[in-house]
Chain A
């Protein structure tokens, strides 16, 4: 397999456009997923009878293949970017919901009780005590969801919104490996950069955890 290095500078514009396209599908999917997952997870955490149902439902969404997802949505949303975003959103839910519930579960009871004892209302306790303490585990979920979404966007190239995935189709049809290599490399790079950005955000958001590198391993374990 020979790589034509000259292809890269010639197609810099196309690669930049497709990368922007890629992000325009992946980023809204994760944000939308977060918007749906947070209330669901709080509900699953607070109302025990609903817990099994919410976790089970998000698990089932995950077992539906991404390609099938896009296709199943076609009659509803048509050949639009919405189809790709909604499909990816459904995919992020399993990780986001599960990690948020786990994060909330891991908040020390004493912290919650102390907040209650000080007369803080439940919603305020959630926003100022529970969610910040659960943040590391939630962020681990967001990182996984982001990397997964970035990788899965290429599947949406079958419906024309695959971002860098267009390069795979292009290379495949012309029997020309160079764009495929570019597509794979850029997807990996994008995922890596996004992950590094999220780590930085987490570091900035959780000043109380700094200087304890050993905790990082437990965070990773949650992500697995």
Chain B
């Protein structure tokens, strides 16, 4: 066990391991590229849907059940399926990661909108705001903390799951895990896994910090 940790440490700290197109630095960048693009794409798809469902109150059933479905859908199966259907391209990676993130963001956006006090909405209407103004000036700002929670959750899941890129022969930190498993090289596997974990925690902390910065000085309406 101690020997293993020592080997792991030297794997992680040797300069040769960090440079070049197969190096850790390049793999981290690839991993981040998949994660950031997938999360952004998911946000672009999910936020309008979540806002619309929350604002109109229509399709709430869809929003709540979507999250269950999203959690139940096995990502490895999905990536395999899209890969077999579409052949070797980076699409399966993005399709699976976006499919993972969209339900989380929709559900949280909807939950944030639904948690806005109806009396506040009535008051907004009472002072003469129109539907769209209520959405942008009252509901959205109040729902934002929960929406950010959704984006944060989705990001963590995407970073953690982006290892599947390596499963369909692309880069990213999953490369070390899968190559290591194939070569029975436990140190490499552990190194890759540890790096993914660190990256996921870092992304979570970064977004948490960003949220706190955005809502500085605001009363805690929702978590």
Cβ–Cβ contact B74 & A221, under 8 A: no
Contacts of A191 in B (CB 8 A): 68, 71-72
A171-B80 contact, Cβ under 8 Å, with A63-B200, A65-B160, A65-B200: yes
Chain A contacts with B in 152-188, Cβ cutoff 8 A: 152, 154-155, 157-158, 164-165, 167-168, 171-172, 175-177, 180-181, 183-184, 187-188
Interface-centre pick from B60, B81, B111 (highest chain A CB count, 10 A): B81
Interface-centre pick from A65, A144, A150, A188 (highest chain B CB count, 10 A): A65
Cβ–Cβ contact B83 & A71, under 8 A: no
When C-beta atoms are compared, the residue in chain B nearest to A187 turns out to be: B74
Determine if A205 is an interface residue (Cβ-Cβ < 8 Å). no
Cβ–Cβ contact A68 & B194, under 8 A: yes
Q: How far is the CA of A209 from the CA of B1 in the complex (A)?
A: 52
Contacts of B161 in A (CB 8 A): 65
Cβ–Cβ contact B190 & A168, under 8 A: no
Chain A contacts with B in 3-59, Cβ cutoff 8 A: 59
Binding site for A on B (CB under 8 A): 1, 4, 60, 64, 67-69, 71-78, 80-81, 83-85, 107-108, 110-111, 114-115, 156, 159-161, 163, 167, 174, 177, 181, 186, 189-190, 192-194, 196-197, 200-201, 204
Determine if A129 is an interface residue (Cβ-Cβ < 8 Å). no
Q: How far is the CA of A219 from the CA of B177 in the complex (A)?
A: 39
Binding site for B on A (CB under 8 A): 1, 59-60, 62-69, 71-72, 74-75, 144, 147-148, 150-152, 154-155, 157-158, 164-165, 167-168, 171-172, 175-177, 180-181, 183-184, 187-188, 191-192, 195, 217, 220-221, 223-224
Cβ–Cβ contact B163 & A75, under 8 A: no
Q: How far is the CA of A184 from the CA of B85 in the complex (A)?
A: 14
The 5 A-B residue pairs with the shortest CB-CB distance in the complex, in nearest-first order: A68-B193, A65-B160, A191-B72, A184-B77, A64-B197
Contacts of A69 in B (CB 8 A): 193
**Closest chain A CB from B113 CB (angstroms):** 11
**Closest chain B CB from A36 CB (angstroms):** 20
Cβ–Cβ contact B80 & A172, under 8 A: yes
- List, sorted by A's number, 18 A–B pairs whose CB atoms are closer than 8 Å: A59-B204, A63-B156, A63-B200, A63-B204, A64-B197, A65-B200, A67-B196, A72-B197, A147-B71, A152-B74, A165-B76, A168-B80, A180-B80, A180-B84, A184-B81, A187-B73, A224-B107, A224-B108
